[in-house]
Amino acid sequence: MTDDAELLRRRMHAQFLPRTDDVAGIARRAGGIQAQDAPAARLALRARGLRDQGAVARAYAAGEVVCSWLMRGTLHLVPAEDLAPLLALLGQRNLAATARRRRELGLTEEVCRQALAAIPEVLGEPLGRADLIAALIARGVQVDPKGQAPAHLTGYAAAHGLICRGADVAPREPGYRLLPPPPPVDADRALAELARRYAAAFGPAGPADFAAWAGLTQALGRRAFALAELMEAAPGLYVAPDSAAPPPGPPLVRLLGAYDTYLLGYRDREPMLDRAHAKRINAGGGVIKPALVVDGRVLGTWRKDGDTLVVERFARLPAAARPGLEAEAADIGRFLGEKLTLQVVSSGPTGPSKSSV
């Protein structure tokens, strides 16, 4: 690699795939899909090749994918077989990070112990969170059904590998289901595999990027890269051994949904996002806005306004990006089952205004 443009183009081509309806395959190749917002997760899958959003529900129902609190303690959609090794690496770390908040919410060690004992008795079939908490309260587990305590208690049980989120039990109501006892996990093998998955999805990248994405220490990040036996593509930047630079071609354009994992995959968002525009993507509070990305560089935000897909660009877009942008807007409409009209506006100090590309 010779410059940032080549680096970013290679990173983006690592993330985005040909069209498919293999939800588990997309999640595996992407290293997991950020999933605290279900519609955003479906858009992330679309950007990586998913043709039919109904395939997500089918994959959950078939047990091919699950959702749990994993990298950085955040909900991720992953292939079902990946859950046990990920929890072996991250579960106890995530529990430690949230211990103080659990105590503040009245979730003492005794309350949590009682909940873990009672959950297998009440979760004979998948339940929504409110119903699960109500069933635990009926068994004498003292948890406030309001506020954040239910979310933290289900997260506690998930980190122990007892439950996971799966298929919806009602519209927009994720179901929680029991997990079988996890198989034995070799910690070094799991760490190396996670680093290889990361390098395949986000490379070229360094161990500090991996550690920030996974929520691990820098020392573990370096150890993981050493165990994974990755290929150095540039000083300090690594890729999976079977990685190849993308062939020449037109700009790769994607309209990414909120919280997209591409924007959360590196220790520093530069050079993909000009610092002058950083707050237009992340103004604070952990919210990552939808983004227009061209050959790896964030060049704008977007939103759906009725039957119009509005792209707010940060600067004039390359003329060669227009066909890709139009194709993306049309594909989002197809994916959502809506006919959308693309409108590109400039976003300056005085707010958005209509503009050509």
| Residue 9 near residue 295, CB atoms below 8 Å | yes
Dump pLDDT digits (tens) for 15-24: 887 777 899 9
Dump pLDDT digits (tens) for 337-352: 999 999 999 875 445 5
Pull the structure tokens for residue 76. 């991720």
Model pTM score: 0.92
Task: Phi first, then psi: give them for residue 159, nearest 5 degrees.
Answer: -65, -25
Nearest CA among 262, 310, 321 for reference residue 288: 262
pLDDT higher than 60, residue 354: no
- 337 vs 331: CA distance, rounded Å: 10
| Residue 309 near residue 302, CB atoms below 8 Å | yes
Determine the angle formed by the axes of helices 218-228 and 187-202, rounding to 10 degrees. 90
Pull the structure tokens for residue 125. 């079939």
Dump pLDDT digits (tens) for 110-122: 999 999 999 999 9
Dump pLDDT digits (tens) for 78-107: 999 999 999 999 999 999 999 999 999 999
CB burial string 262-287: b at 16+ within 10 A, e below: bbbbbbebeebbeeeeeebbbeeeee
Residue type, 44: A
Dump pLDDT digits (tens) for 305-325: 999 999 999 988 999 999 999
